[in-house]
Amino acid sequence: MKIEILTLFPELVEQVVRFGIPRKAVEAGVLQLKARDIRDYSSDRDRRVDDRPYGGGPGMVMEAEPLAAAIAAAKQAVGEARALVVALSPQGEPLTQQWVRRLAQEPALILLCGRYEGPDERAMGAVDLELSLGDFVLSGGELPAMALVDAVSRWLPGALGHEQSAQNDSFVAGLLDHPHYTRPEHWRGQAVPEVLLSGDHAKVARWRLKQALGATWLKRPDLLAGLELNEIQAGLLREFIAEQQG
Ligand code: SAM
C-alpha cells in the first residue's frame, strides 16, 4: 500500500514509520509512506499557505490552491487513479476498526492534514472521505493521520507476526479483547488464572471468549447492545455476570 500524507509538518508524520508495526510494514515492503509538504505547492515567496477568513473572525484558513496542487501531485506520485483522498477532520465519520479494515484494502491513500481553522471549503471537492479521531478538536490532522497509518498497517499482510494476529484484537469480532497475562505466575499476591496454565486449548479458548464478553459488558455495554450473541456466547456472558454478582 502506498500512503501519501499532505501536511505542513512532514518531519512529524514521518516518525510513524520509524517504530513498531508500521516500521515492520515498511521493512516487509507492504507499506510505502511519503510525507509531502503542502508549502512546496505555495506560490507565495514566503511559502505561506494560509490566509484570513472571508467574513472576518479569528484564525486563518488553508488556501485551496496549494491543497489542490498537493493532492494532484500525490495522486500522480502513487500512480493509482483509485487513490482514496481522506481528510482528517473533527467533522468526519468516526475512525473505527471497520473503517481501518476497509482502508487497508485500498492500493493507495492520500491523507490530508488540516491546520489553523482547516481547509478552504472549495478544496474539499477533491476529498473522498472525512475521518475523525473523536469528538474533540486537535490543532492539526497529523496525529490522526499517524493513528490511521498505525492502525491500517496492522492489517497489511506480513506486518504482524502470526503470533500477533490482528484478528484477536478488540472490535474485530465486535467485542473487546480478553485479558492477557505473562510471567511471573504469581505477582504481588495475584496469580495467573489457573486455566491458562492447564494446556487445555479448548478450555483456554472458552475462558478467553467468556472474559472478552465480560470485559465488553463491563466496559463497553454499547458494543454488546449492537450484537446478536449465539447460545454459547449468551451462556458464557450469563456465567460471567453471575460470577461478578456472586
Ligand atoms: N475549525 C475546525 C472545526 O472546528 O471543525 C477545527 C480545525 S482544527 C483546529 C485543525 C485541523 O486539525 C483540522 O482541519 C483537522 O485536520 C485536524 N483535526 C482536529 N481535530 C480532529 C479530529 N478530532 N479528528 C481528525 N482531525 C482533526
pLDDT digits (tens, 9 = 90+) for 35-59: 999 999 999 999 999 999 999 999 9
**119 and 199: one domain?**
no
Distance in Å, CA 90 to ligand 1 centroid: 5
> Does residue 136 sit within a domain?
yes
C-alpha cell at 45: 515567496
Q: Hey, whose CA ends up nearest to atom 13 of ligand 1? A: 114
Q: Hey, whose CA ends up nearest to atom 1 of ligand 1? A: 117
Q: How many domains does the chain have?
A: 2
> Does residue 164 sit within a domain?
no
Cβ contact 70:38 at 8 Å: yes
Positions marked catalytic: 90, 117, 154, 169
> Does residue 165 sit within a domain?
no
Query: The domain spanning residue 147 has which CATH number?
Result: 3.40.1280.10
Would you state the pLDDT for residue 231? Answer: 98
Which residues constitute the domain of residue 62? 2-153
**38 and 111: one domain?**
yes
Give CA separation, 21 vs 81, 102, 114, 130, 156, in Å. 27, 18, 25, 25, 10
Domain end, chosen from 153, 179, 202, is at 153
> Is residue 113 lining ligand 1, measured as CB closer than 6 Å?
yes
How would you classify the pairing of strands 190-191 and 186-187? antiparallel
Atom of ligand 1 nearest to the CA of 112: 16
Mutate to test the pocket of ligand 1, among 49, 133, 138 (most ligand atoms within 8 A of CB): 138
Residue with cell 464478553: 213
> Is residue 232 lining ligand 1, measured as CB closer than 6 Å?
no
Percent residues over pLDDT 90 in the chain: 92
pLDDT digits (tens, 9 = 90+) for 83-98: 999 999 999 999 999 9
Distance (Å, rounded) from C-alpha 85 to C-alpha 88?
Answer: 10
> Is residue 78 lining ligand 1, measured as CB closer than 6 Å?
no
pTM of the model: 0.96
> Is residue 94 lining ligand 1, measured as CB closer than 6 Å?
no
C-alpha cell at 149: 497509518
